[in-house]
Amino acid sequence: MSPRPSPLPDPRPVLVTGAAGFIGYHVAEALLARGERVLGVDNLNAYYDPALKEERLARLSASPGFVFERLDLAEPAATAALFAAHKPRRVIHLAAQAGVRWSVSHPEDFVTANLVAFLQVLEGCRAIGVDHLVYASSSSVYGDQARQPLQEASGADHPLSLYAATKRCNELMAHSYAHLFGLPSTGLRYFSVYGPYGRPDMAVYLFAEAMRNRRPIQLFNHGDMVRDFTYVDDVVAGTLAALDHPPAPGPEDDDPARSAAPFRVYNLGGGSPRPLVDLVDALERALGVTAIRELVGPQPADVRETRADVSRLADAVGYAPSVPLEEGVRRFAAWYLSRPNP
């Protein structure tokens, strides 16, 4: 008997929304590196300088396995047409309006980008029978809880910002589609992601810019903050591992992070929380610049402390963060200093 021929690779792409964004770019790059076809989508909005988004996109577009569509996912007809034309087999939904503090002054942006657009993605997944939807949630859904570390079974019903509220809504919306239509979905609660090609409004980038230009950096809550900083390579590894393990229906219990439906929610953090001042100290060493520290009061939408319990993701998919803060900051600083006119 002649041997069976090897199965042909699935020609359907993985859809990565927000592919020109920080995490989306790194996830798309990793998918391409392992031989996947990637369909990237982004609206290239001007929340921060689109030039950085264009730079990320240009790097991805150098790969023959990458196809890009510029569109606003909040537009029902355009999003439906995207799914119908490309029929992605799996979806990593990272497109969103980010920024806890921005959500205080621009709430409409978050309703459109994080709720309306997510609904259209869910509808697209339902229409073509997507194998697995992985989407970005956030550690901010926990609010400001005194009990640490944060666990998926902890309450997530008192968000401090509209951004956090929209991310919690995404989890609830995904569960309804998992229950009603059997759509396997996994939500990842990201914790303080940083690294090369990061957003200019994030703490690591903001501090580096200010320090390099001899401007003071503002440490809110007088610097008394703790964050579970997570290097972007660890985030990518956890995201792809989750993608490769779609949830199956399970027994019903009272745990809000799992369900009888094919639905799961996991923390994805570094697992080694550090005081904010440790980040500043690491940046000083990596950049060779002493920071001018300005201690200011708390911001109403900020939480004081985040500590991620990542044991569930470790048990489910083997997630094991490997980049400590000092090494991650060194890698970020090397990228930052290599850029023109830093």
Predicted confidence band at 6 (pLDDT cuts at 50, 70, 90)? very low
pLDDT in tens, 84-122: 999 999 999 999 988 777 777 788 889 999 999 999 999
Residue 280 is assigned to a structural domain of this protein: no
Q: Is the pLDDT at 10 greater than 80, yes or no?
A: no
Higher pLDDT, 327 or 155: 327
The CATH number of residue 265's host domain is 3.40.50.720
What does the pLDDT read at residue 4? 53
Residue 3 is assigned to a structural domain of this protein: no
Q: Which helix (H) or strand (E) holds 332?
A: helix 325-338
pLDDT in tens, 39-60: 999 999 988 999 999 999 999 9
Residue 31 is assigned to a structural domain of this protein: yes
What does the pLDDT read at residue 1? 43
Residue 147 is assigned to a structural domain of this protein: yes
Question: Interior CA angle at 254 toward 250 and 256, to 5°?
Answer: 80
Residue 148 is assigned to a structural domain of this protein: yes
Residue 79 is assigned to a structural domain of this protein: yes
Residue 245 is assigned to a structural domain of this protein: yes
pLDDT in tens, 24-33: 999 999 999 9
Kindly provide the b/e burial profile for residues 184-221, where b requires at least 16 CB atoms within 10 angstroms of the residue's own CB: bbbbbbbbbbbbbbbbeebbbbebbebbbeeeebbbbb
Q: Is the pLDDT at 242 greater than 80, yes or no?
A: yes
- Strand 90-93 relative to strand 132-138: parallel, antiparallel, unpaired? parallel
What is the span of the domain harbouring residue 158?
A: 14-191+232-269+308-322
- Strand 185-190 relative to strand 263-268: parallel, antiparallel, unpaired? parallel
163 is catalytic: yes
Tell me the whole-structure pTM to 2 decimals.
0.94
Given the residues 135, 163, 231, 319, select the one marked as catalytic: 163
Local structure of residue 9 (DSSP, 8 states): P
pLDDT in tens, 63-73: 999 999 999 99
**What is the CB neighbour count within 10 angstroms for residue 314?**
17
Mean pLDDT of all residues in 182-186: 98
Higher pLDDT, 128 or 157: 128
Number of separate domains in the chain? 1
